[in-house]
Amino acid sequence: MIREQVRTATPGGLVLLGLIVVSLALCLGVVGTAQDHALASFTVTFVVALSVVVPFVGSGFFIVNPNEAKVLQLFGRYIGSVKTPGLSWALPFYSKRPLSLRVVSAESTRLKVNDLDGNPIEIAAIVVWKVVDTAKASFQVHNYAQYVQVQGEAALRNLATSYAYDAHDDSHTSLRSHTALVAEHLKKEIQERVELSGVEVIEARISHLAYAQEIAQAMLQRQQAGAIIAARQKIVDGAVGMVEMALERLARNNVVELDEERKAAMVSNLLVVLCGERGTQPVLNTGSLYT
């Protein structure tokens, strides 16, 4: 496996300054030896040679932008990567391919898959990543950006089949209710898949999650029924607690003594009042407790 080698290229400013000094010295030499035909002939020959050398040396200059790297190769052999921003110089025989180190945010296509319960769902994710190993990104995979996209969608499919869309209780992890845990799982799985390409996954989160169209209406009714049952359960729990508190206080304060039959009737009436959906209309008893 090819590993990244960070190189420090020759500062381009020094090489450029050297070329300028040599060119000025040569021009002054040509002017000074213009009267001597032998020296002039030699100088002209040197100028012609220099006119070939200067463009050759000049082709070794390259610029590295911030958050960018240049991958150097010599006749197909990997030499190293230059990451220092600015003007640099390397041998003209080196090929210098730019590679971006900027952070990339990409959204996957909406995939239609079955969740853990077998329900068809639509899911998409946003993956934030960047290149950290220029050698792997350049030589280990054909197209690292496309590789990240394909592997990200494969990881997303596998994630969707590992969890249910919605859990019936808090003890089970679901795609809808445990977003942080699911996002961490997705990030870890994508990172394992793209390790070969020299890419680091910074963040991965679900951007779209919904039931497929063919079952969306039925699942909506199921969710509504679950919400109604949960609400009713809380109402009943609260009503039972209030009835217990009422009986306890009546007995503690000696307000009234009730036998078991009257307690049952009182409990039934209180539950009807507390759990009913509509306001109750009380009936006043003007007789005694037992008539």
Tens of pLDDT along 258-275?
Answer: 667 777 777 777 766 666
- Name which residue leads in pLDDT, 276 or 58: 58
Q: Of 212 and 82, which is predicted with more confidence?
A: 82
Fold of 104-211: Tetrahydropterin Synthase; Chain A (3.30.479)
* pLDDT value, residue 280: 59
129, two tokens: 């990543």
Mean per-residue pLDDT, 244-248: 79
Does the pTM exceed 0.85? no
Least confident of 60-69, 132-141, 145-154, 215-224: 215-224
CA 273 to chain centre: 52
Domain boundaries of the chain, sorted by first residue = 10-98, 104-211, 216-275
**Cα distances (Å, whole numbers) of residue 127 to 122, 193, 201:** 17, 13, 7
pLDDT recorded at residue 265? 73
In the prediction, which pLDDT does 49 show? 64
- Place 232 in a pLDDT band, splitting at 50, 70 and 90: confident
Over 90: is that where the pLDDT of 11 sits?
no
Which amino acid, 12? Answer: G
pLDDT, residue 50, reads 67
Q: How far is CA 194 from CA 41, 101, 102, 148, in A?
A: 63, 16, 17, 6
Contact 196, 139 (CB under 8 A): no
**What is the gyration radius of the CA atoms in the chain, in angstroms?**
39
Other beta carbons within 10 angstroms of residue 83's beta carbon come to: 19
Measured CA to CA, the distance from residue 125 to residue 105 in angstroms comes to: 10
Looking at per-residue pLDDT, the higher value among 180 and 273 belongs to 180
Helix (H) or strand (E) holding 129: strand 120-131
The whole-number pLDDT of residue 117 equals 82
What residue has token string 């079955």? 114
What's the Cα-to-Cα distance from 120 to each of 111, 117, 165, 184, 212, rounded to whole Å? 10, 9, 9, 23, 5
Q: Tell me the three state secondary structure of residue 289.
A: coil
pLDDT value at residue 226 = 67
What per-residue confidence (pLDDT) applies to 277?
A: 62
Question: Counting runs of H as helices and runs of E as strands, what totals does the chain give?
Answer: 7, 10
Contacts 24+ apart (CB under 8 A), 47-54: 50/22, 50/23, 50/26, 54/19, 54/23
Report the chain's mean pLDDT, rounded to a whole number.
Answer: 81
Structure tokens at 33: 């030896």
For residues 287 and 291, give the distance between their C-alpha atoms in angstroms, rounded to a whole number: 6
Reported as a pLDDT band with limits 50, 70 and 90, residue 221 is low
pLDDT at 27: 65
Spatial distance between the Cα atoms of 127 and 202, rounded to a whole number of angstroms: 8
42 pLDDT higher than 60: no
d(CA 239, CA 275): 7
Mean pLDDT of 40-48: 62
For 72, the 3-state DSSP assignment is: strand
